[in-house]
Structure 1
């Protein structure tokens, strides 16, 4: 709000703020509000005239700060003999501060000044939103963090879903995001997938989940781009060139660190696990491919697959018919096999399956031409890392972020075709339990080293 109001027009300003931020003003005819008229100053008195005219000018500000200052200065001097000296001095101070502020950015509404993280899709609760909230989790220790979106969302639901504390975060709904709005913040972090919003904040950062082919030159100049790994960075360089500010911040800040010693002692069950949102199109997690490979193995290698179970866990938005039908398709594929599909699972249930599972599979990007449609390949892949934290043996599609991670960690298997996937699964189900336990310990140690080396918290702190 405009802090230089002294009295009057605050209710008008508040009403305008409500409308501009996407909220509604409702009339409640049965409510009763008692207002003492002219309690601040007597109506038509010199003080009343000064305050009302001064605040009206601020409320109607048209962009000419010299005109505003000179007009209000005229009223202040005209009524000076008839108002208390302390009020006169306070108003002069307010007007002087307002002029200086408007000379700097010419925005009548004072900057909020802390940190903003903009995301159009908080409600999807996906991996991108998790990565963005890892910034909020760290930065809220130093300043209030505003979580911004065009549509309403619940911070409480985000806290519950991701299991984090966002007590120093505030929700801000801006139905029409503009560059002018970003000027309100000292630090503006754009975490909206493939956004073309130009930032005017003092410091601006853009989280790159995957770069769009064409980007506005003004957008490219207004941010430091934070890639998630070398895979996204290499495509950014290919599409945008190398002449822009950039860094790599791995999306590891929201990982829940399990007790590695307890997990190492835990005997794995005959469970093949895959975790990911159920949806079609884009970089779908391709649970259907995993289901087909598993079904064929159960038929062709019945003896080896005896006692094994496939578990698919992921969020599902029931408002999208095509996504619901996709889950039904997977169930149909898996008929007459030992399987379980868990939708919108609580975190503790997911963690329990991570602890139990011996094999973790990630198939996002399967069947996609990685050169023609690289955006459909898994950009990073956090769930294979979570699986490895719990000692699961990872089998991932051989393109994109998961391959890069496994190559750096130095453990796990890749597949390119469905037959490859079946062979990799079969190799692991035939491993004896002693070897399996030794491998789990090695996986846990390797992924812990990877996380320690690439953990983002220190880099996020450097943003402020």
Structure 2
């Protein structure tokens, strides 16, 4: 039977019901689940366009009842939600979930920038486990998401966890606390899981997981493969999704690098800058940077006499790693090492504007691929401001920095010291690499990200409201 023939039969049958075991029932049942929903929506739209308003509620009820019997109540609700949007009864809804949104970070910025790109077209809800305010997002990332709705989902199982909510604590012997998120997801047209929490089962008709890196192998409550689309942020991440999760992700969208300078300084200051979260496990390697800077100053005091090291980044309260780092710096007595914690986006822009060299060592001394930088948004931000990046040679950093052209990649602290010393002593090299870095950073800029995000969700929404069933 052709698509048109099936739609006509459906349109007629929906005025009463689809008899179980009938030819039409068997034909519908032979289609994949999403195909069944597409045909039902098309038939209902045909009825609505023909002006059969009196029978339309009965037809919608019949379609939902059939779908409920075949695919469950969540899919019946999906059909009703689709119908509301398809008939122009309301704007489409979108929810973004992130269990780490209360901590400053590049992955969090990725998801929020998606919302900023989509806020004109959707009614948006932000789902978190810790309270969030639009003012924090404005201060941290320079975005206005005050029109979004914010909903905090309490997790008693993590009441003692402070800011750190680790899904790895949940085993097969425990109930899945993240089912609370799953149940809410079905009430939206589009659900985005931005936090790589593979324990959230998506119930929305359109479901997208943004994977910044597959941190855990499939285990208890693994649902990453249940999402319609998995977006990945780098080729490094895609490689490890295939290795760890055993499927190929769908869409590659590089993160949004959005820290262009408001003005170009005539001359940079002698500052080495690092911007990274102060992870409790120390994976961003700020302590090692302090050691390298002290060694650089001790071995080459005349060459480095004017240079400073500034370590900036976000941190939760009561962070043992950060406290140890502060104590280590105090013990050195070196006043040229500065910490800038949880600063605003404007303060960060000022640092990028003035600094000359950028260090990033995530991945150094690591054997776990999850602890190697998956992309490195702050590297791109530094390059946008003409800083010369000297970064660890691994992970997504290899996709950003071209050695000897836009910066340098290193495997050891000694290599870090050697390349940095060369940059300190060669102003022409700093300028040429800085110019090349600035030019190369354009492939990661925010306008490109906004365009790719809008195109992706526009296409998904188009099919959602008008499926091409042929």
Common topology (TM > 0.5): yes
Question: Are the equivalent residues in 2 in contact too, given 1:274–1:362 (CA < 8 A)?
Answer: yes
Are 1:231 and 2:224 an aligned pair?
Answer: no
Going from structure 1 to structure 2, the CA distance change for 1:414 and 1:118 (only over 3 Å counts) comes to same
Q: Deviation at 1:245? A: 4.9
* Structure of higher CA gyration radius: 1
CA distance in 2, matches of 1:137, 1:299: 47
Q: Deviation at 1:425? A: 1.0
Question: Are the equivalent residues in 2 in contact too, given 1:194–1:210 (CA < 8 A)?
Answer: no
In the other structure, the counterpart of 1:335 is: 333
Pairwise CA RMSD? 2.9
- In structure 1, the gaps of 5 or more residues are 1-90
Match of 1:122 among 97, 101, 111: 101
CA distance in 1, matches of 2:328, 2:290: 7
Match of 2:251 among 243, 247, 250: 247
Instruction: Please state whether the residue corresponding to 1:406 is helix, strand or coil.
Output: coil
Q: Deviation at 1:117? A: 0.6
Are 1:303 and 2:295 an aligned pair?
Answer: no
Are 1:377 and 2:375 an aligned pair?
Answer: no
Match of 2:439 among 445, 450, 462: 445
In the other structure, the counterpart of 1:276 is: 276
CA distance in 2, matches of 1:207, 1:368: 24
Instruction: Please state whether the residue corresponding to 2:311 is helix, strand or coil.
Output: strand
Question: Are the equivalent residues in 2 in contact too, given 1:395–1:424 (CA < 8 A)?
Answer: yes
Deviations 1:33-69 (A, max 9, x none): xxxxxxxxxxxxxxxxxxxxxxxxxxxxxxxxxxxxx
Equivalent residue pairs, number: 363
CA distance in 2, matches of 1:185, 1:402: 36
In the other structure, the counterpart of 2:451 is: 458
Going from structure 1 to structure 2, the CA distance change for 1:174 and 1:92 (only over 3 Å counts) comes to farther
CA distance in 2, matches of 1:118, 1:163: 20
TM-score under structure 1 normalisation?
A: 0.71
Are 1:190 and 2:193 an aligned pair?
Answer: yes
Of the two structures, which has the highest relative contact order with CA contacts closer than 8 Å and spacing of 6 or more?
A: 2
Deviations 1:154-198 (A, max 9, x none): 233222321101133111233354333322111111112342212
- In structure 2, the gaps of 5 or more residues are 1-53, 82-90, 155-176, 459-470
Q: Deviation at 1:367? A: 0.8
Question: Are the equivalent residues in 1 in contact too, given 2:234–2:254 (CA < 8 A)?
Answer: yes
CA distance in 2, matches of 1:301, 1:169: 53
Going from structure 1 to structure 2, the CA distance change for 1:103 and 1:158 (only over 3 Å counts) comes to farther
Deviations 1:368-398 (A, max 9, x none): 12xxx10011111111111111111100011
CA distance in 1, matches of 2:229, 2:217: 18
Question: Are the equivalent residues in 1 in contact too, given 2:375–2:396 (CA < 8 A)?
Answer: yes
Instruction: Please state whether the residue corresponding to 1:122 is helix, strand or coil.
Output: coil
Match of 1:162 among 117, 141, 154: 141
Instruction: Please state whether the residue corresponding to 2:400 is helix, strand or coil.
Output: helix
Are 1:400 and 2:395 an aligned pair?
Answer: yes
CA distance in 2, matches of 1:409, 1:139: 38
CA distance in 2, matches of 1:446, 1:345: 27
TM-score under structure 2 normalisation?
A: 0.70
CA distance in 2, matches of 1:427, 1:443: 17
Are 1:221 and 2:220 an aligned pair?
Answer: no
Q: Deviation at 1:95? A: 8.7
Going from structure 1 to structure 2, the CA distance change for 1:392 and 1:161 (only over 3 Å counts) comes to same
Question: Are the equivalent residues in 1 in contact too, given 2:387–2:434 (CA < 8 A)?
Answer: yes
Going from structure 1 to structure 2, the CA distance change for 1:384 and 1:219 (only over 3 Å counts) comes to closer
Out of 454-463 and 290-299, give the one that drifted further.
454-463
